[in-house]
């Protein structure tokens, strides 16, 4: 008998549901983080008020300040969340024929009733 358990369709369904729900929750958390930092339109000032330095830091890429690095990282994460929610185009350069795809909507079918 081989070591390890065989996997069946029910277990695979549970794995798919779990991952889809977890992905949705992470993307929602990212979106909420961006909103809490940038919702007032002063993200850099907000992060500085939280204690991030706004002084150039040679240890950071491009020697940007810690506040600027945190802000750009949040923006990158929010772009991924935007792709997931279908509000940002993934790939391409836009223009004619550009389209959005809502991964959240497509994965909703496998959430197993686990709604937000």
In this predicted structure, what is the pLDDT of residue 4? 78
CA atoms within 13 A on the CB side of 20: 19
The reported pTM is 0.79
Domain residue extents for the chain: 13-87
In this predicted structure, what is the pLDDT of residue 65? 95
Residue 71 buriedness (CB in 10 A; 0-12 / 13-18 / 19+): buried
pLDDT truncated to tens, each residue of the chain (116 aa)?
A: 578 778 899 999 999 999 999 999 999 999 999 999 998 889 999 999 999 999 999 998 899 999 999 999 999 899 999 989 988 876 655 555 567 778 888 888 778 777 76
């Amino acid at each position: 008998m081989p070591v390890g358990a065989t996997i069946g369709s029910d277990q695979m369904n549970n794995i798919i549901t779990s991952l889809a729900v977890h992905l949705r929750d992470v993307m929602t958390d990212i979106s909420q983080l961006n909103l809490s930092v940038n919702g007032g339109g002063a993200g850099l000032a907000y992060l500085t008020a939280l204690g991030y330095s706004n002084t150039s830091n040679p240890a950071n890429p491009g020697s940007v300040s810690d506040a600027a690095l945190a802000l750009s990282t949040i923006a990158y994460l929010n772009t991924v969340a935007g792709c997931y929610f279908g509000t940002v185009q993934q790939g391409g350069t836009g223009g004619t024929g550009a389209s959005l795809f809502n991964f959240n909507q497509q994965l909703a079918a496998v959430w197993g009733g686990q709604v937000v």
